[in-house]
Amino acid sequence: MPRILRPIRTRSGIAALAVATVLAGGLWIDLSEKDDSAPPVEVRRVSDTEDETIRVSREILNVAGVKGKMTEPGPFTGKCAGRDPEKNYRIIYFWSIWDAPIQDLKQGMENLREKLPGKGWNIRSYGPDTSKSRSLELIADFGRKKFTVMIHLYDESKNPAPKAPESIISVALSSACYQVPEGETV
C-alpha cells in the first residue's frame, strides 16, 4: 500500500509548504505501487527530472482549467524505498488551488478525468476516497514520462462552521525513481 500524507487544510488554503518542508527533512512519499527494489533504474540528472516535473505539473494545472490561488513551494527531492539515498531519488511536487468557486473546482476535477487520458495519462481510479469525508480523488499514471499523480477535491462548501476551511484541489505529483550519473550524489 502506498504511503500518502494528507495535506493540512487551513482557512487560508493548504499549508503545502509545511508538508513539503517536513517531507524534505527526511521522509518520503511513494505515490506509485511499483517495486523500487527491482534494478535497474534510469540514470538521470536531478535538475532534468525537476524541470520535467514542473512541466508535467503545469500541464495538469492547464488541463484542470481552474483560476484561483495556487501554492508555490516547488518540487523537492524524495527518497526511493530500498535504494541508496545518496545515489537514488524521486522528485515530488505538492501544490493546491483554492480561492475559486466550488463549481469551478468540481469542473476542474471533471476536466482532469476527461482530458488527462488524451495527454497520455492512465486513470487508475476516480471517485470518493476512503476518508470519512469521502473526498473526490483521482489517481493516474503517466507511463511514458514515468509520473504518478494523486489529486483530491476537498469540498468544504457545505461545512456550516464559521471558520471552516476553504474548498481546494490538492495535487501530489511524484516522478519515478532515478539514479544520479556516476560521480554525482543526490
Angle of helix 102-115 versus helix 46-64 axis, rounded to 10: 120
Kind of pairing, strands 13-14 and 9-10?
Answer: antiparallel
What cell was used for 88?
537514488
Report whether pLDDT(49) > 60: yes
Question: What pLDDT, on a 0 to 100 scale, did the predictor assign at position 162?
Answer: 82
Report whether pLDDT(2) > 70: no
**Which percentage of the chain shows pLDDT scores above 70?**
79
- Alpha-carbon span 185 to 169, nearest angstrom: 34
Least confident of 33-42, 62-71, 116-125, 171-180: 33-42
Q: pLDDT confidence of 64, banded at 50, 70, 90?
A: very high
* Domains in the chain: boundaries: 9-179
| Closest CA relative to residue 29, chosen from 165, 149, 183 | 149
Average pLDDT value for residue range 117-142: 94
Q: What element of type H or E holds 64?
A: helix 46-64
As a whole number, the mean pLDDT across the chain is 82
Q: Which CATH class is domain 9-179?
A: alpha beta
Question: What pLDDT, on a 0 to 100 scale, did the predictor assign at position 89?
Answer: 96
- Alpha-carbon span 115 to 46, nearest angstrom: 29
Report whether pLDDT(5) > 50: no
Report whether pLDDT(106) > 60: yes
